[in-house]
Structure 1
């Protein structure tokens, strides 16, 4: 049911895109520009924030019942980072980097292409700008999340496994073969409901916050009231991401825990990963607080993550347009 629903979203978006691409608009960026700029921004962002991503995943996967009197293995950003460095070396902070780079590469391209084309299709329909931002952002997030979800799952599993002889998957190819052999195609989509359910409101809130914030900063910069040295996109992106991330964090945590379910659940570094069916299981075992494990690191990561993404996206887009002599 979930896969059919997600596939339907992709199909609708695909039908909308060709019509949107032909609309006249002040933005002269081609579809190829959007794909390249989105991909470059995704890869750049992933390289910078990879350690924070690994720390966040470790904290999210850690189950600590309210009745447990012992200290959890991972406790906050500094302690978790130090533990990983001590036990796994600096490369431990970049575990899952290959599938993560593929995730960010394809996600960035799909997200920006879908957002811009759907946004263009809504122009002229009498819908106010904020509603257009929310709808286009939510649809772009849903399409990108579904298309790239297997990479997201692989990223989580690599980040959760040990090093050396403790590895469950020895390579990306080995992981794909193993998951397919033991879990089938559905194995690559564990937790996809929470993934798509999270990204629709997240991306909707993100773009609905980002667009007016950037416009506000640009307007006041031009008037001389503020001075961000042309980095309005980075500031607006960081602020928008922080706002959106806080609202949907429980779904992100549930997605991560569902991704490591299956036959390998007891083989990861954190041996106490319980069998989860959803939000109710976590609340019963760990309380409401359990839904927000890793939120602090997530918010620390959110601002630079989106700031770098939006800044590099705009820079690459301008560079591509400039390279072909387009001054608009």
Structure 2
């Protein structure tokens, strides 16, 4: 074949759903980072409302009856900018955390045969999602602690660096990871459920496995909403552990782990306490995961290169 002759298209075609073997680690990382930043920043104000509604024993001025009420109350008393407090922490953490997240997911899924054929490989996808979560949460947890400390009503922190220094000085390094076991207890089943639901819905809605933003968006949103709903109790526990340093209640401030936090929540609010913030969590997660998967699939499509080589 002459040097100027184009390579036949059939020799280079591949299913974009699985990045080709020669795709660099950098491409996986870049796709994941892009998806993570988009996911966490777009719906940040609703996430701030969710955090406020999940706080146990809030001050009377921080009791909200719904998303619209919370947004209006916070905006009128603290200013609309307060809904974005801590967003920088998420942006800084989400990039590297999601880069590791998706790179791990793709590598594990590929090694377990999750990209073979059009069948739904539940074990491979769920395992890959769980592994991805364990790796990414180790990076993201400190940033999440800072974010939630800045989101709560009456936060005293002026910036993410001020928050990080203050928490480290007054509570030590452990404060950034006290919620890590609970985070994993929530995010491992959340991710396994979300990834499995997404892969299944993607194959049902898009049997041809072609790049289709609409089906990626729909599958991602539905998968995220389902996973968010069933893991909300653990998210409430995580919020208590991550914001304990801002509480005036001695029992909450001295809470040391998942079981103790669960007892506090149940003792004060009963079983309904584990579903505080359910609606804003779903409202946040559904579009966030839709944005995340659509962004990731777009980035994957871009990094696989053109389907037809240049002449």
Same fold at TM > 0.5: yes
* Matched-pair contact (CA < 8 Å) for 2:41–2:90: no
Q: 1:72–1:95: structure 2 CA closer, same or farther, 3 Å change rule?
A: closer
Q: Structure 2 CA distance, aligned partners of 1:71 and 1:145?
A: 32
Q: 1:202–1:300: structure 2 CA closer, same or farther, 3 Å change rule?
A: same
Unaligned runs of 5+ in 1: 1-24, 65-69, 223-227
The aligned counterpart of 1:281 is: 264
* Matched-pair contact (CA < 8 Å) for 1:31–1:113: yes
The aligned counterpart of 2:121 is: 129
Q: 1:34–1:256: structure 2 CA closer, same or farther, 3 Å change rule?
A: same
Question: Residues 179-200 of structure 1: CA distance to partner in whole angstroms, max 9, x if unpaired?
Answer: 2222221121121111011111
Among 69, 73, 77, the alignment partner of 1:83 is 73
The aligned counterpart of 1:181 is: 169
Q: For residue 171 of structure 1, report the CA deviation from its aligned partner.
A: 1.8
The aligned counterpart of 1:218 is: 206
Q: 1:72–1:54: structure 2 CA closer, same or farther, 3 Å change rule?
A: closer
Q: For residue 272 of structure 1, report the CA deviation from its aligned partner.
A: 9.9
Superposition TM-score, scaled by structure 1 size: 0.79
Correspondence 1:140 to 2:132: yes
Among 234, 237, 240, the alignment partner of 2:217 is 234
* Matched-pair contact (CA < 8 Å) for 1:62–1:74: no
Q: Structure 1 CA distance, aligned partners of 2:81 and 2:30?
A: 28
Q: Structure 2 CA distance, aligned partners of 1:216 and 1:79?
A: 38
The equivalences for 1:250-261 within 5 A come to 250-261=233-244
* Matched-pair contact (CA < 8 Å) for 2:217–2:293: yes
The aligned counterpart of 1:302 is: 285
The aligned counterpart of 1:156 is: 148
Unaligned runs of 5+ in 2: 1-16
Please report the RMSD computed on the Cα atoms of aligned residues, expressed in angstroms. 2.8
The aligned counterpart of 2:44 is: 50
Q: Structure 1 CA distance, aligned partners of 2:308 and 2:184?
A: 38
Q: Structure 2 CA distance, aligned partners of 1:282 and 1:178?
A: 26
* Matched-pair contact (CA < 8 Å) for 1:161–1:168: no
Secondary structure at the aligned position of 1:174 is classed as helix
The aligned counterpart of 1:113 is: 103
Superposition TM-score, scaled by structure 2 size: 0.83
**Which portions of structure 1, spanning 4 or more consecutive aligned residues, are displaced by more than 3 angstroms?**
271-276, 325-328
